[in-house]
Amino acid sequence: MAGKKKAPASTNALVGVSRKKRPSSKTTTVHPRGEFVGIEPKRTLGGIRVGDLLSILGAAVAAFALTIVLTTQIAPITGQLAFFVVWYVLFVGLYALLVSIDDSKTFVVDRVISVVVTSVAVLLFSVLIFVIVFVIGRGAQALPFGNFYTQDMQEAGPLDPLTKGGVIHAIAGSLIQISIALAITIPLGISAAVYLNEIPGRFSRFVRTIVEAMTALPSIVAGLFIFATAILMFGVPKSGFAASLAISVMMLPIMIRSADVVLRLVPQTLKEASIGLGASQWKTVWNVVLPTSRSGLTTSIILATARGIGETSPVLLTSGFTAGLNVNPLADPMVSLPLAIFQFVKSPEPTMIARGFGTAAVLMAVVLTLFVIARWVGGMTPEKSARARIRRDMLVANVGQRFATVRKIITSRGTANRSKELS
């Protein structure tokens, strides 16, 4: 009896023993098959530390010095682009070496990938800023003049100063053409995307394949297609409407592909709940699927608009060129902003080149304005629309009450004046 081990009083003792074997919250454990294999320190993958900044700065300076030595003393490397590529490769290698001194391999890989991704993002953003600054800087000579936005080029020539002539005809043409193209593309694109998602089958797979192939369609081919069919076969004159048809051909595959991806993201449970409550398939699409994906569909419209509003060759083939203002899309040539830029910058005159870059700046402003409007419309969820409607009704009610009060005061004063006159 004395040699027998004493059993624990309760199972809580075993629980206490197992709890003692558990690692602290500051460690990460790996336990396949229920066993503790190893314990490694907890890694902080997010955030920026002072040591990281010093490592980046030291790696950048050391890579710059090594690049200078390589390009001047060892390798015959010339050119700014080659210098930058060599410096960047050395920078990434030195940064990985510095981080590996104190951290594990997983941490080094994470930091190196973070630096590469961040540098690519900074590079792309810098290119965008450079393009905007360069275009505005080259067009700064034409942008301050008011006539640049209110006149056309019908009475201005290449040798005329910037105080004469403008691009109002190109602004009006672009807005008219893109409006007609959106009126054609939005219903067709969203309907096709709904068909691809709601009615799967062989034909839907065939349509999706055709749409994917049309995404890489060259713009000149779209212009030639509309020129051969609409203009030569059906007798449609060169006009803004013909240009809108060509732009629609370019916008439609972008719209369908992006809207298709957006509609796939709608949770299936929402559709099942709607159908379970007795709604038909098309009521579910109209009342559940489309409102849920409203913001994403707005993004698809933005992408399609960005593709269509910058097209030049389809417009050149289908709308012709004119230096005057034409707001009738069914007759006579109609110029757009990209086509006006093309005509301006190919001239050797400095004033025409300045007008071309100024027109490019106007085009970017128009695109930005359209994007802001589209994003604002797409951001109006049903809840926001309901709140806006309530605020609008309250405002109308307050204005009506004030108007009624003022009217009552005026009426009472008129009655008092009449009583005084009678007395």
The count of domains in the chain is 2
- Nearest Cα to Cα of residue 112 among 97, 128, 129, 125: 97
For the residues of 202-217, what is the DSSP string, one character each?
A: HHHHHHHHHHHHHHT-
Confidence check: pLDDT of 66 > 80: yes
Q: Mean pLDDT across the stretch 348-361?
A: 90
Domain residue limits at 127: 50-138
Residues 213 and 97 in one domain: no
Residues 297 and 213 in one domain: yes
Give pLDDT, residue 205.
Answer: 86
Give pLDDT, residue 382.
Answer: 59
Structure tokens at 172: 């009006």
Residue 143 belongs to a domain: no
Residues 97 and 227 in one domain: no
Q: Label residue 244 by pLDDT band (50, 70, 90).
A: very high
Q: Which helix (H) or strand (E) holds 263?
A: helix 240-264
Give pLDDT, residue 133.
Answer: 92
Residues 89 and 175 in one domain: no
pTM of the predicted structure, to 2 decimals = 0.70
Q: Mean pLDDT across the stretch 123-128?
A: 91
- Nearest Cα to Cα of residue 342 among 332, 351, 334, 352: 352
At a CB cut-off of 8 Å and minimum separation 6, what does 327 contact?
Answer: 172, 176
Q: Give the phi and the psi of residue 38 in degrees, each rounded to 5.
A: -160, 160
Residues 377 and 337 in one domain: yes
Q: Which of 80, 109, 138 finishes a domain? A: 138
Q: Label residue 9 by pLDDT band (50, 70, 90).
A: very low
At a CB cut-off of 8 Å and minimum separation 6, what does 176 contact?
Answer: 240, 244, 327, 329, 334
Residue 108 belongs to a domain: yes
Percent of the chain with pLDDT over 90: 16
Cα dihedral 65→66→70→74 (10° resolution): 110
Residues 212 and 155 in one domain: yes
Residue 394 belongs to a domain: no
CATH (domain of 260): 1.10.3720.10
Q: Which of 89, 105, 138 finishes a domain? A: 138
Could you give the angle at which helices 105-138 and 350-378 cross, rounded to 10 degrees? 130
Q: How far apart are CA 337 and CA 87, in angstroms?
A: 40
Do residues 256 and 189 touch, judged by C-beta distance below 8 A? yes
Residue 79 belongs to a domain: yes
Confidence check: pLDDT of 298 > 80: yes
Residues 91 and 65 in one domain: yes
| End-to-end Cα spacing for the chain | 127
Residue 109 belongs to a domain: yes
Q: Which helix (H) or strand (E) holds 30?
A: strand 27-30
Q: Cα angle at 223 between 220 and 227, to 5 degrees? A: 140
Q: Mean pLDDT across the stretch 8-18?
A: 44
Q: Mean pLDDT across the stretch 82-95?
A: 87
Residue 340 belongs to a domain: yes
Confidence check: pLDDT of 104 > 60: yes
Residues 185 and 268 in one domain: yes
Residues 204 and 290 in one domain: yes
Residue 401 belongs to a domain: no
Q: Which of 23-37, 148-162, 163-177 has the highest mean pLDDT?
A: 163-177
Q: How far apart are CA 29 and CA 36, in angstroms?
A: 7
What type of residue sits at position 366? V
Q: Which of 138, 158, 179 finishes a domain? A: 138
Helix H, strand E, coil C: the string for the chain is CCCCCCCCCCHHHHHHHHHHHCCCCCEEEECHHHCCCEEEECCCCCCCCHHHHHHHHHHHHHHHHHHHHHHHHHCCCCCHHHHHHHHHHHHHHHHHHHHCCCCCHHHHHHHHHHHHHHHHHHHHHHHHHHHHHHHHHHCCCCCCCCHHHHCCCCCCCCCCCCCCCCCHHHHHHHHHHHHHHHHHHHHHHHHHHHHHHHCCCHHHHHHHHHHHHHHCCCHHHHHHHHHHHHHHHCCCCCCHHHHHHHHHHHHHHHHHHHHHHHHHCCCHHHHHHHHHCCCCHHHHHHHHHHHHCHHHHHHHHHHHHHHHHCCCHHHHHHHCCCCCCCCCCCCCCCCCHHHHHHHHHCCCCHHHHHHHHHHHHHHHHHHHHHHHHHHHHHCCCHHHHHHHHHHHHHHHHHHHHHHHHHHHHHHHHHHHHHHHHHC
Residues 260 and 371 in one domain: yes
Residue 272 belongs to a domain: yes
Q: Give the phi and the psi of residue 30 in degrees, each rounded to 5.
A: -120, 115
Residues 127 and 66 in one domain: yes
At a CB cut-off of 8 Å and minimum separation 6, what does 100 contact?
Answer: 108
Average pLDDT, the chain: 81
Residues 124 and 154 in one domain: no
